[in-house]
Structure 1
């Protein structure tokens, strides 16, 4: 039992599994979880619901808890005048996104913690994000706001309910709106590229000023756009962004192979990727690993491969359960040492120069400080809260060759000294208290990491990654399907599975299974992906207008189902589904898969035409349909060295939209005319390159495969 819990009475959240909800189980606020108990209490007691949404690694969620939810006076008002309800946004993104749409529309911004007041019928009438406990700078604090809303509910309730009715009607209109189709063509891709270009930072990369988020979906679009149009300036933007991120402080540089560390923080608070918000999320690392792998395919530059390997090392060492599934996140806040009583943001990660000098030999310290920008007075230039005074956030400033020239030393010696310094600092850091880890297992995020590891196994020729991906997929198969119905579940935590799977769980897992199939050629994965696709359509697809709702038709606790139309930190389920159903069409020849992909594009066509930067992942899927790619059918035994050489030749190339399948006499590919006959005629190692409903004559050497697949006149990508 923690100090916070000692001598306190738990509330209803103590029965939950979510680490975030359990963080609030000993608040004096009498929290309820989202569900029938909360809804019935609100109706019975005729009180509005105060809904607080956050997640376990959220810095400002922790701040609001300390300031307000552990405050007895505030708790008394919440308990007396409202029904306080907590949601873990990672468990229930459907509820989070519904009310976040309202908060963003009404306030112009959003974020977490999210605070929303609802009628007993779950209609929102007031909302915001973080509130300080007391009045500040002429703005009401949380306590004042609670009193005002409680008074208004008593004295002017009809006005609040009228406001809530209007808001609810508007939210429903988002859900039921018919499409306003726009014709799509090359221009929509060109327009999106120009829009993204106008936001590009040519110095540090990325597509915004501070704070700066990775948004891998934009990188996916740029790589696709460059591939299909030959405009290498598009891939150059993505490559520069990835290089600057890899060298920046958003990247944890103290990764040691086989031991842990490394990976990427959530985002940078500055424009140079130097000062991170230190939480680490599984989905960010999965998506960035995919981007770095694609960058390596394009350029063959080791920086990109090493960074992808670093991400995998972090996830497999620090974020993998004993059963092989992947945990969700690590906290931004941590104790800087074992004597500290207060957590600070980045406490686990930052260093003084004195600390480093005490741990390293003199020459090691000089080399390390030069390479990673360590300064005596600290290297954080933008620190408005004084959190990092005299502290250093490690950022790679010089490569081994530059450092060797600076110190007039052999490059090998610099490399050895750098490795030994990292090992010593890593071991010292491990003696600090680790940040708290959110150990729940989210289906969609695990699926993203399965995709990344499957691709990593192919691009980096590392079978350990394939084994890890297969083990995680097996865990989902064994633990995250509902008994009896076969429906997908969203979350596993502390031995219990639960929460109805959402569209992103289905879409990301289908994608993961298809990626895993292309790595292993296990036909059962392709069959399971098709089963999931049919179930996704059954529960989420809008047959009338097209597109997928975010919540299942069987989920009773969602007031309004929305269709996600934004590729943010994660791509939307609709964007991934466009790619999935296109791939399934190519792999199976079933026309209804293509119809679903095209109808989804049709539904979102107005957004794609007006603001492509909103859905870059979907535009990448559209580009792949607009420019049909190859299907590569490999024949022969997978254990044959000649087969392996052909497969490797495909995997080393960046080929967006290309599907790779395995055929033998026993399991011919029937989706493409001519492919079935080809596999029957030739059961030795060969590659059939198929496109537009026909296949070329087979080739048997890696050089022939490369020549046929590489776009003519196309060179490797270049950075600006």
Structure 2
């Protein structure tokens, strides 16, 4: 909404989130030297507001506060207002979010923090309503109080800020541990997660429920290595419940779009989502569903992974081959209004469904997806979904067919035709806004998903898309000096890459190497790992800082020590280093992996479930890890048969390698398995390789 006749300086930014605020009457500045210099020159505190373009409560606070001229007047006169896109600058966001969480006990976006001119925080929180509401102080009264305190009690605020910055510096790296983490960390994490598991609806802990794919990946590997299928089954049950729930967009059609998963569920049943769709969630969930399919051969998991890929390729793919960041939760219910509402694109009234579907389709669809005349949303604290239905696959195909007196095949046909009709109607609605930043790290996650999907689903098109994405990243997201940019937007690449950009892209290139067996991808992964070590590695204490040391505007660099919506750079780095060691047998990668693990030993001792993805790397370092080298002509059918044996199984302790010197050999294709101190005789046929893997590796299935 245009609230100011002249734009502020955010109009010059590329970030969609920052540009959303360019016409606010608040005189926003982007984070950087100009804002810091202004704060020091005028001796005003900085008001730092961090969020992202698809954040629902960020939109609410903008409408209530930042578009209000009287609020803007206070901000402009008493503070230096600074906007940060947390997706562009996760390092800044992480630093001050640590402060907010430490002082308030919670965190979220928008994040609101007040800083001294030398960037030390003295007050913070999240969303603030304009007046006292929801048990939160009103933003206007808070601004007046902080403005008055800065004028009348500045020394005390500076003292508090100095003290907090000292604490943040202490938080920047984990406390030293007692030694190298051992396998007891794996057992403790499995026990903690089992205790948090919801046996009725799946997931871990109470609502709101977040997918957290790193947990699912760890549970699958714990089952693989220990044979305790009851632990892996926690992840499988969770994925089934998520696929049934409203967090899953059930209206996906191949080649058309839709489908995929929303950010999180506000209720315990996965029924009522927060409707934004994030690239990083869907990339990681695609991998989780692929691994579940490898473990079980249950087509539900394969079909859900295919649904996610369809969403990514239809709705999130840029013309050049990179993937956009996110889709908004809010949109206009109809084209005649600009007023946006949460979930308007995805929800349905009972009458809308009846007007679109024929009677046979209604009978099946309404029962299967729990459609109620007055709406099916029970928990609606903000009154956003009155009379609306959120699709929720409450019943099985068998139960629905029995209810409708049709065969299961007829039931599937009627459900599919219903979804096609509803999707066609939905596409006539105003779409949610899409954030068209291309984030390096998140594209690395998609690269991993596409590469793995091409193997598990035997879909060469996914491999082609993975190679196109890799080519885009190597062309547009690598600097002339060979380092990474953080993002590409509107044809411009900018912002030095963060540690997670390197870790996720390296992982994607390793996965693409195993899918394509093109050795250039392995070489590029090694080159980027060397750059990551140079820019981020703490050579003395181990572990990777989240930002390079060259950024003077960042007062403290942090070492991320939590695998949340995204795995931490350190966790992925441990796994990457272990894989590089297995493939290349270069001891430097082993040493760096162990050094990084040791840096986080105190965290793993205290609560190893904080770092489930790091535990995946711990498996590779504490149990035998194997290299399976394929030899022969890749165009030979026998070569393809050997590779398919490997691709269809979850082999958590195997890294795939290819001897390119044998690419033109006329002899039989063969696979050589090496690990645990020996190399086995070559396997030349699929049955022989299957038997070798079953006899040698940890055999696991659910």
TM-score of the superposed pair, with normalisation by structure 2: 0.98
Q: 1:501 aligns with which of 497, 501, 504?
A: 497
Match of residue 688 from structure 1: 672
Q: 1:373 aligns with which of 370, 376, 383?
A: 370
Q: 1:700 aligns with which of 684, 688, 702?
A: 684
Q: Does 1:621 align with 2:605?
A: no
Give how far 1:5 is off: 2.5
Q: 1:259 aligns with which of 256, 261, 285?
A: 256
C-alpha spacing 1:424/1:564, structure 2 compared with 1 (3 Å): same
Deviations 1:387-439 (A, max 9, x none): 11111100112233332222221222222111111100000000000000000
More deviation in 399-408 or 462-471? 399-408
Match of residue 46 from structure 1: 43
Query: 1:96-135, aligned counterparts within 5 Å?
Result: 96-135=93-132
Match of residue 517 from structure 2: 521
More deviation in 305-314 or 628-637? 628-637
Match of residue 603 from structure 1: 599
Match of residue 296 from structure 1: 293
Give how far 1:715 is off: 6.9
Give how far 1:173 is off: 1.6
Give how far 1:26 is off: 0.2
Match of residue 202 from structure 2: 205
Q: Does 1:553 align with 2:549?
A: yes
C-alpha spacing 1:712/1:637, structure 2 compared with 1 (3 Å): closer
Distance in 2 between residues matched to 1:585 and 1:530, nearest whole Å: 11
Quick check: 1:653–1:710 contact (8 Å CA) kept in 2?
A: no
Give how far 1:342 is off: 1.3
Give how far 1:589 is off: 1.2
3-state SS, counterpart of residue 665 of structure 1: helix
Give how far 1:717 is off: 4.0
In structure 1, the gaps of 5 or more residues are: 668-678
More deviation in 635-644 or 624-633? 624-633
More deviation in 400-409 or 232-241? 400-409
C-alpha spacing 1:137/1:706, structure 2 compared with 1 (3 Å): closer
3-state SS, counterpart of residue 486 of structure 1: coil
Give how far 1:197 is off: 0.6
Give how far 1:351 is off: 0.3
Deviations 1:522-557 (A, max 9, x none): 111100101000000000000000000000122222
Distance in 1 between residues matched to 2:661 and 2:595, nearest whole Å: 36
Distance in 2 between residues matched to 1:108 and 1:508, nearest whole Å: 30
Query: 1:332-411, aligned counterparts within 5 Å?
Result: 332-411=329-408
Deviations 1:215-258 (A, max 9, x none): 11111110111101111111100000000001110000000001
Quick check: 2:633–2:639 contact (8 Å CA) kept in 1?
A: yes
Quick check: 2:670–2:682 contact (8 Å CA) kept in 1?
A: yes
Q: Does 1:162 align with 2:164?
A: no
3-state SS, counterpart of residue 381 of structure 1: coil
Match of residue 245 from structure 2: 248
3-state SS, counterpart of residue 14 of structure 2: coil
Deviations 1:413-467 (A, max 9, x none): 2221111111000000000000000000000000000000000000000011111
Distance in 1 between residues matched to 2:134 and 2:257, nearest whole Å: 44
Distance in 2 between residues matched to 1:637 and 1:518, nearest whole Å: 16
Distance in 2 between residues matched to 1:75 and 1:280, nearest whole Å: 31
Quick check: 1:235–1:717 contact (8 Å CA) kept in 2?
A: no
Give how far 1:338 is off: 1.6
Quick check: 1:585–1:594 contact (8 Å CA) kept in 2?
A: yes
Distance in 1 between residues matched to 2:246 and 2:134, nearest whole Å: 33
Query: 1:549-588, aligned counterparts within 5 Å?
Result: 549-588=545-584
Give how far 1:666 is off: 5.3
Quick check: 1:54–1:88 contact (8 Å CA) kept in 2?
A: yes
Q: Does 1:639 align with 2:623?
A: no
Give how far 1:40 is off: 0.6
Quick check: 1:517–1:523 contact (8 Å CA) kept in 2?
A: yes
In structure 2, the gaps of 5 or more residues are: none
Distance in 2 between residues matched to 1:295 and 1:302, nearest whole Å: 10
Give how far 1:665 is off: 3.3
3-state SS, counterpart of residue 106 of structure 1: helix
Quick check: 1:54–1:87 contact (8 Å CA) kept in 2?
A: yes
Give how far 1:664 is off: 4.2
Distance in 2 between residues matched to 1:97 and 1:233, nearest whole Å: 36
Q: What do you get for the CA RMSD once the two structures are aligned?
A: 1.6
Quick check: 1:182–1:609 contact (8 Å CA) kept in 2?
A: no
Distance in 2 between residues matched to 1:664 and 1:564, nearest whole Å: 38
3-state SS, counterpart of residue 488 of structure 2: strand
TM-score of the superposed pair, with normalisation by structure 1: 0.95
Deviations 1:454-482 (A, max 9, x none): 00000000011111111111111111112
Distance in 1 between residues matched to 2:196 and 2:351, nearest whole Å: 40
Quick check: 1:279–1:331 contact (8 Å CA) kept in 2?
A: yes
Quick check: 1:178–1:545 contact (8 Å CA) kept in 2?
A: no
Give how far 1:354 is off: 0.7
Distance in 1 between residues matched to 2:636 and 2:35, nearest whole Å: 61
3-state SS, counterpart of residue 209 of structure 1: coil
Distance in 2 between residues matched to 1:622 and 1:711, nearest whole Å: 23
3-state SS, counterpart of residue 336 of structure 1: coil
Q: 2:694 aligns with which of 695, 706, 710?
A: 710
Quick check: 2:55–2:328 contact (8 Å CA) kept in 1?
A: yes
Deviations 1:166-201 (A, max 9, x none): 011111122256522345322221111111111000
Distance in 2 between residues matched to 1:161 and 1:352, nearest whole Å: 54
Deviations 1:567-623 (A, max 9, x none): 000000000000001111111111111000000001101111220111111012101
Quick check: 1:299–1:716 contact (8 Å CA) kept in 2?
A: no
Distance in 2 between residues matched to 1:32 and 1:659, nearest whole Å: 47
Match of residue 141 from structure 1: 138
